[in-house]
A and B are shown apart, each in its own frame.
Chain A
Amino acid sequence: MKTEEQYHIDWLASKDGLLTSSDLEALMIFIKEHATIYEQWLEQEFIVSGLKSTQWGFSENFNLKVLKSVRENQIPIFDKSSLFVVSIGIAASLVLMLNLFVEQNTWGFEALLGIADMDSNNTNLLFYINS
């Protein structure tokens, strides 16, 4: 035996054609026998359907705001050409570093600064740069 709520659900389903013929038949019998309940369903459906009349919208510049944000997201930080330039730069730095290490015959941090072969008698950096 179905409850009133189950019949109400069936009635809602019947509006979208979701009910089987046997369930629809049982619903029709229930409605015939419970006219007051059916009137209540109709009334509450009518009241709630009032929400359809709402006409909300967003501000006038809504489209512009969305499009601006989409455009900002589309600009890649590293596109292909800038990636190429960065790669060349990194490769050049590596070659220069290697050159420094080989020339000074050591792998230390001082070699990276170019002062690994500094003479302890002359610590003036300009002397080495000029020579």
Chain B
Amino acid sequence: MPTVSTQNSEQTLIAALKRGEERAYTEVLNLHKQQIAKTVIGMLGIVPEAEDVGQEVFIRFFKSIENFKGEAKISTYLTRIAINLSLNELERRKRKWRVFYSGDFAEEKIQKAFFTPDADLDENVDLLRRATLKLDEKYRQVVVLRATQGYSFKEIAEIIQLPIGTVLTRYSRAQKKLIEMLNK
């Protein structure tokens, strides 16, 4: 729940965005780009398209600012766009690979092609990250939002627009699947 002061500062920022002040655009970018990077890279892996999707998240937000009523926090709204655009990108990626490969073989190829190791990460965390990329998208998004971003289950339900019970079930199952993959 946003506090009164954060609500006020967000409203001031939104008003400045609606007036087209470039300072406000830069502020939103500086405040939220790290969080959006974690969401998009968590969903897509370390791939060049992640940066394009990240840019598109902010461009869409700025374009639709006139319709933004401030019912949700800016971070929630941006993360929702990031998740939706990442899911679109994953679908586009699948369609592209299915031209050449079919069925499970296609899935395997996609996963291998996008498993770029992250040299900056601890080996165990990198294994975990790569296992996350093997999860079905519906599980992956809750893991990214909860474990990577630290959102509460209530916030996740708001972002992905699903009942809180579904979010909890998906997170519980995703945890089990991840552990199974790591133990293999």
Q: Which of A5, A8, A18 sits near B153, CB closer than 8 Å?
A: A18
Nearest first, the 9 A-B pairs at minimum CB distance are A51-B147, A56-B41, A50-B125, A51-B148, A9-B168, A66-B58, A63-B29, A48-B147, A56-B37
Determine whether B22 belongs to the interface, using a CB cutoff of 8 Å to chain A: yes
Q: Knowing A48-B178, A73-B63, say if A56 contacts B38 (CB, 8 Å).
A: yes
Residues of B near any A CB (own CB < 8 A): 20, 22, 25-26, 29-30, 33-34, 37-38, 41-42, 46, 50-51, 54-55, 58-59, 62-63, 118, 120-122, 124-125, 128-129, 132, 143-144, 147-148, 150, 152-154, 164-165, 168-169, 171-173, 175-176, 178-179, 182
Count: A-B pairs, CB below 8 Å? 110
Determine whether A13 belongs to the interface, using a CB cutoff of 8 Å to chain B: yes
Q: Knowing A47-B128, A69-B55, A73-B59, say if A52 contacts B147 (CB, 8 Å).
A: yes
Q: Which of B22, B128, B171 sits near A50, CB closer than 8 Å?
A: B128
Per-residue interface assignment for chain A, residues 63 to 102, with 1 indicating a CB less than 8 Å from any chain B CB and 0 otherwise = 1011101100110000000000000000000000000000
Q: A12–B164 Cα gap in the complex (Å)?
A: 11
Q: Chain A: interface secondary structure?
A: helix
Residues of A near any B CB (own CB < 8 A): 5, 8-9, 12-13, 16, 18, 44-45, 47-59, 62-63, 65-67, 69-70, 73-74
Residues of B close to A73: CB separation below 8 A? 59, 63
10 chain-A/chain-B pairs, Cβ below 8 angstroms: A44-B178, A48-B175, A49-B147, A51-B129, A57-B33, A58-B33, A58-B54, A63-B26, A63-B30, A70-B59
Q: Which of B51, B168, B173 sits near A62, CB closer than 8 Å?
A: B51
Report yes or no: B154 in contact with A44, Cβ–Cβ below 8 A: no
Report yes or no: B171 in contact with A53, Cβ–Cβ below 8 A: no
Q: A55–B38 Cα gap in the complex (Å)?
A: 7
Q: Knowing A51-B129, A62-B29, A62-B55, say if A18 contacts B164 (CB, 8 Å).
A: yes
Residues of B close to A16: CB separation below 8 A? 152-154
Q: Chain B: interface secondary structure?
A: helix
Report yes or no: A13 in contact with B122, Cβ–Cβ below 8 A: no
Residues of B close to A55: CB separation below 8 A? 120
Instruction: Say how far A48's CB is from chain B's closest CB, in angstroms.
Output: 5
Instruction: Say how far A15's CB is from chain B's closest CB, in angstroms.
Output: 8
Known: A51-B143, A58-B37. 17 other contacts (CB 8 A): A5-B172, A9-B168, A12-B153, A12-B171, A13-B168, A48-B175, A50-B122, A51-B132, A51-B144, A53-B122, A54-B125, A56-B41, A58-B33, A58-B51, A62-B33, A62-B54, A67-B29
Instruction: Say how far B28's CB is from chain A's closest CB, in angstroms.
Output: 10
Report yes or no: A52 in contact with B148, Cβ–Cβ below 8 A: yes
Specify the chain A residue showing the minimal Cβ separation from B164.
A18
Instruction: Say how far B130's CB is from chain A's closest CB, in angstroms.
Output: 11
Residues of A close to B55: CB separation below 8 A? 62, 65-66, 69
Residues of B close to A12: CB separation below 8 A? 153, 168, 171-172
Instruction: Say how far A40's CB is from chain B's closest CB, in angstroms.
Output: 8
